[in-house]
Structure 1
């Protein structure tokens, strides 16, 4: 049913129609600040002797998760890091074996990836591709890196969603689960990877067409509707990162 107002100059809307309201934007970091923090953490932690900076990166990732309201990530990040650290440093002391040593080395790399992944997860969840593109253009970054970063932010969540859909379809057909993976590992991997590759190719084609329509490959410099600006959150984040880095350097020199 449609309610009509007989008075002139009024609009005709459905009786139950309502104008959707846009959600209020959260105060998040400027994309340039988030990218610099992520690059600094990645280069520092993955460098030789970078394990000293893992606690500082974990603290930064924990604070970013709390500021975003991602409490599950804030809880899972220290748990995953603690488990990886236990396998890396405590398990070889309890059990002396070459196999345990191999697992300890793998857990050491996992610990570093967890520390960097906490910061990367904040960047993926809070920064949209248009904001990232506008920020990188404002920083005079070449379009090769700008387009690649925007496509990565679009492509990674799409692949994760497609992987979950393939896994659910396998479970509905009785092909998923740990038992099926143990009985027929090669066949299970085939059933999972082939549909995922096909859906990834379709997603890549759709993203390429969307990028061309948005003018990412054009020579003309587009104008951002909301130009990036540094704010108080960026100053606080930069100060916290520098304090943690200085504390780590002093701690390392004292040891």
Structure 2
């Protein structure tokens, strides 16, 4: 039975990273991209950092997101470095500032998306327990970890319901508020309560040692990515 379970998990995720590696990479990418400059050696460090989310998404075969990220980031990067410096006016200054902020936070959001979409709650809890964190931290984080994907799913259901009823919300913010946001806010309240109850039912608040069917651990790919990102961070600090 154990061999069958192991086979199912290994075949489902032939290439997977340890959740702790994903958290580490997410912190490194967010720090370098938001705090780093685009002058001198930092230009190349930021470019090398941007490779990380693209590489991880490619490993997970999310080619559509990789292409969209490459196109979006290339356009914004060209606008920031080549177009807006030669333009003048308050409007261009504000737009350039917004684009600059978006360029810096976009890779961090992509890493967050990758982390949530490729990590199950059980894997996340197992990783947190390996880090010897308290249940007072693990339980709220596990609820939040499941909260955002559930909200996204609920919002898609609301959109489908509006489409089936022929309600077009384009250009009407009042209808948008009434038919989408109000049901979503009600769903958020219920979902929060249900996820909290689910966490307690699964025994997450138990003081005893829990077993976990998920197999986590550092592999060669984890080690290589940690070394690569650590070198980038050292360059960010000292260069």
> TM-score category by the smaller chain?
0.7 to 0.9
Higher helix share: 2
TM-score by length of 1: 0.78
Q: Structure 2: how far apart are the matches of 1:173 and 1:227? A: 45
1:134, distance to aligned residue in structure 2 (A): 0.7
3-state SS of the aligned residue for 1:110?
helix
User: CA 1:232/1:154 → structure 2, altered by over 3 Å: closer, same or farther?
Assistant: same
Q: What is aligned with 1:158?
A: 150
Do structure 1's residue 143 and structure 2's residue 131 form an aligned pair? Answer: no
Say what the alpha-carbon RMSD is for the aligned residues. Answer: 2.6
Higher relative contact order (CA 8 A, sep 6+): 2
3-state SS of the aligned residue for 2:168?
coil
Do structure 1's residue 120 and structure 2's residue 112 form an aligned pair? Answer: yes
Alignment of 1:76-87 (within 5 A): 76-87=68-79
Q: Which runs of 5+ in 2 are unaligned?
A: 1-6
Query: Are the aligned partners of 1:65 and 1:73 in contact in 2 as well (CA < 8 Å)?
Result: yes
Task: Select which of 15, 18, 42 maps to 1:30.
Answer: 18
Q: Return 140-149 or 118-127, whichever deviates more.
A: 140-149
Q: Which runs of 5+ in 1 are unaligned?
A: 1-20
Alignment of 1:1-255 (within 5 A): 22=8, 24=11, 25-47=13-35, 49=37, 52=42, 54-176=46-168, 180-181=170-171, 184-245=172-233, 253=239
Q: How many residues align?
A: 227
Higher-Rg member (1/2): 1
TM-score by length of 2: 0.82
Query: Are the aligned partners of 1:80 and 1:114 in contact in 2 as well (CA < 8 Å)?
Result: no
User: CA 1:120/1:164 → structure 2, altered by over 3 Å: closer, same or farther?
Assistant: same
3-state SS of the aligned residue for 2:204?
coil
Deviations 1:124-179 (A, max 9, x none): 122111111111111112323322332222111111111122222233334335xx
1:244, distance to aligned residue in structure 2 (A): 4.1
